[in-house]
A and B are shown apart, each in its own frame.
Chain A
Amino acid sequence: MSDLGAAAGTLPLGDPVNVSRRRFIAGTAAGALVLGFGMPLGRARGQGATIAPGTRVPAFLEIRPDSSIRLLSPFTEGGQGIWTAMAQIVGEELDADPAAFVVENAPPGPDYLVMNGKIRFTGGSNSVRGSYTTMRRLGASARAVLIAAAAQRWGVPAATLTTAPGRVLHAASGRALTYGELAPHALDLPVPASVTLKDRKDFRWIGTRQPRVDAHAKSTGQIRYSIDIAVDGMLHAAIQHAPRLGLQPARIRNEAAVKAMAGVHSVHVLDGAVAVVARRFWHARRAVEAAEVEWTMPAAPGFRPMPADFSTDAFAAHLATATGREEVGESAGDVATAFAGAHATVNATYHSQYLNHAQLEPPSALARFNADGTLDLWFPLQSPEEALDDAAKAAGIARERIQLHAPPLGGFFGRHFQYRHAAPFPQAIALAKAVKAPVKVIWTREEEFLRDPLRPMAAVRWRGALDADGLPVAIEAISATEGPSEGIADQRGSRIDRAALEGMTGKAYAIANRRIAQIFVKSPATLAYWRSVGHSMNDFFYEAFLDELADKGGQDPYALRRRLLAGDPRLTTLLDAVVDLCGGWKRGPFAAPDGSMRARGIAMASPFGSQVAAIAEVSVADGAVRVHDVWQAIDPGTIVNPAIIEAQVNSAVAMGLSQALGEEATYKDGQRIARNFDGYTILAPTQMPRVHVRIVESGAAMGGIGEPGLPAVAPAVANALARLTGKRARSLPIKLA
């Protein structure tokens, strides 16, 4: 890990650009430093100073003598390809090949609040679309400074200079200097107040299939995740959590025996857990699992204590019949009158399950208190500012005295926002304090599945009304659920939690009378954002029920969707694109060349600013659903890297399939049933369908990429299966009767 802390600590407040840059350069012995360096600006400065996020080139870019470029990405890389996208976007305006970039995650700090100049987190499929212009400006500013340096060096007007990738050129004299040669001379030049961005037609890299900047490192085991980080004198710790959240350790019956186990340094009682610190993780794990802990529920147990009798089966039944205030998230027309005059109606209740994130990298945290009282922390995170706040609270020191490092993530899917009792960094801090040495805590997979907060469960009661032509005229959905945002906050907001209903609200179909409402039912298990959030279940509920309406009304599901989207050229084009991609609409059942009977289902979703349409082809063999192909057309409006879009759609399709076919986090008697991958089954290689992607670039406002590929998959599969088997699956995961 590069350690910038010492230098940053000497930085004066005041003029944020020139002085700091000079001081920083003067204070370093590295010699490779040039245009700037990624400084952890949240430390000595920041709070009082006014910093326009995304404007200070040195906070983001270091151009080295060999013209390679170090970029601090405001957004955390966790597989979604954001480092590469940032290199493309900055490189486009800087005029530097994305392949020349070395990208790392930026630390907390006001410079990096690049989403609308106010906030910064990695989630909601927001990174590129939320910072696109800011990051382009950053690249353009850096280019302008390099041009100014060349102009000064050659004594020519800047206007006579141009750039080629990595070089400034003076056409009249045939002279050229590389960015690496120019960077030292650019140090004290002011960043221009305004820059002109390139015209889209002149783009060299944005919109093209650029290779990922991290592909080789990730193919050879060289990327270092949080779990891989080590510092001198570090001890290892393993945790045994209370089997139910809220329980506290009263006593370790065999504490003396545990302490005497090989390699054990010390045994600790923590909030809701016991820990063993040891020389090696294996020692710590073996010892902590040997600990016989007596757990007690305190009188005031705090955040979301898990009831001793909780079961997900009973909770699902409760959700299906729960009564209470119906809070309306979306309404139009007059549902009651439409139902009163309906030619036919359909009623159905749908269910979704709790889901683990199941990222392959188990959580870890490394804490090191330094001699000067400052604290270095490494742990997986996707909202650095909030993580720093929480770390400061846990450590009991000012946030300015914490250096928070943000390693790349071994998958996240929403796992690494700040959720209570869901991350090991407070344990690492407590243990490092206690043993007066750096401590790395790793959660075993079993401890992770015990404390991983979950995608909410919901039960949705649907009603639909059809007219004499079999067309839907009214729909009503009452979802008994707790939204993830209100669940994470552990309090209800003044308005309905949008994430509770998104995917049933915001649909584009022209159904004149509709009412989408929530009955709030608090979840006993802790909740989280899970890839595509509310859309992950709500588009399943909606699109599967829409097929039920189509069936009842004698409508073809593709034709009905097309009809309900009449007058919406963007979505009509998209729907036709996915049908074209799969070779024409063929609902089935039909016999495939291998003799299996197959059918296809179709579904759409409008998540995170993008639009998607999906078709799935399924068969049933040996009592199991087999998904052969998924075709997906995606319209994110405007694109940056089609190769990464295709990869993300592949990944999201598979995760959507995983929750449709197998994943389910269940409880019985307050206990988590499956605490490892033997019981919690994520999609296996043999279950992976062929995935066919068509990108439709409509030119609309830029949408997200990481999540939108997911929501339409489960309903497309369910719709195909209903066609094939004649039986409608209304619960996730889908189980064949």
Chain B
Amino acid sequence: MIELTVNGAVHRLDAEPETPLLWALRDNLGMTGTKYGCGIAQCGACSVMVDGTVTRSCVLPIGSLAGTRITTIEAVEADPVGAKVTAAWVRHQVPQCGYCQSGQVMAATALLKQNARPSEADVEGAMSNLCRCCTYNAIKAAVRDVAGEGATA
């Protein structure tokens, strides 16, 4: 049994410690908002926050997560910054197919929680997830929009 704290709730999982967090979330906890895209931490569709830092969950063994707080897309609107980010995502009509957007929203939320006024280089550095619909310009505009209004947690 492995204990994970996800979105404020403690879960006891019947899973091996080497299980990637992505599959523990999806299969053990039924939280499918976090997506599988590549499995090698290339695309970022699986991004979650671990203690507030954006992390690619597809290569992150759950055995390494004791005592951490994991936040997934399912709880993003409960976070004041996350709520602003998702509102900006809707305002800027970011999603097309939407598959990568859970990860994009988590990456943006983590960035803006740590740095309410990111520079262009900060945004470029943090928003590295792939989007095959190439919604990159809309993503950038949405992040800037939230940054402009001052993202304070």
Contacts and interface: CB of A to CB of B under 8 A. Distances in A.
B27 A281 contact: yes
Given A359-B97, A360-B99, A220 B38 contact: no
B133 A411 contact: yes
A678 B43 CA distance: 9
Contacts of B76: 220-221
B55 interface: no
Tell me the interface secondary structure of chain B in the complex: loop
A614 B20 CA distance: 44
B43 A218 contact: no
B96 A360 contact: no
A685 interface: yes
B112 to A, nearest CB: 15
Contact of B86 (A219, A280, A409, A445): A219
Given A225-B99, A678-B42, A658 B73 contact: no
Given A220-B73, A409-B97, A445-B38, 17 more contacts: A78-B97, A214-B95, A215-B90, A219-B89, A221-B33, A222-B33, A228-B26, A282-B15, A282-B24, A360-B100, A410-B97, A411-B97, A411-B133, A653-B134, A677-B42, A685-B127, A685-B139
Tell me the interface secondary structure of chain A in the complex: loop
A224 interface: yes
A459 to B, nearest CB: 27
B102 A358 contact: no
Interface string B119-153: 00000100111111111111110000000000000
A643 interface: yes
A211 B93 contact: yes
B97 A216 contact: no
Interface string B82-97: 0000100110011111
Contacts of B95: 79, 212, 214-215, 218-219
B37 A445 contact: yes
Contacts, number: 171
A277 interface: no
Contact of A280 (B28, B93, B129): B28
Nearest to B45: A360
Contact of B35 (A360, A446, A654): A360
B48 to A, nearest CB: 11
B36 A227 contact: yes
A445 B39 contact: yes
A220 B36 contact: no
Please name the 4 residue pairs, one residue from A and one from B, whose CB atoms are nearest each other, closest first: A221-B33, A218-B98, A654-B134, A410-B99
B136 A442 contact: no
Interface in B11-50: 15-16, 19-20, 23-24, 26-28, 30, 32-40, 42-43, 45
Nearest to A689: B137
Contacts of A68: none
12 contacts: A215-B94, A219-B86, A221-B32, A262-B16, A280-B15, A282-B23, A359-B97, A360-B97, A410-B98, A445-B39, A677-B38, A691-B137
A227 B23 CA distance: 12
Given A221-B74, A411-B97, A360 B132 contact: yes
A16 interface: no
Contacts of B127: 685
A654 B130 CA distance: 12
B34 A221 contact: yes
B77 interface: yes
A360 B98 CA distance: 9
A650 interface: yes
B81 interface: no
B4 to A, nearest CB: 15
A361 B96 contact: no
B105 interface: yes
Nearest to A644: B93
- Residue from the set A219, A655, A682, A683 with the largest chain B CB neighbour count within 10 Å: A219
B119 to A, nearest CB: 15
A358 B132 CA distance: 7
Contact of A411 (B26, B38, B132, B139): B132
Contacts of B139: 685
Contacts of A220: 33, 73, 76-77, 86, 102, 105
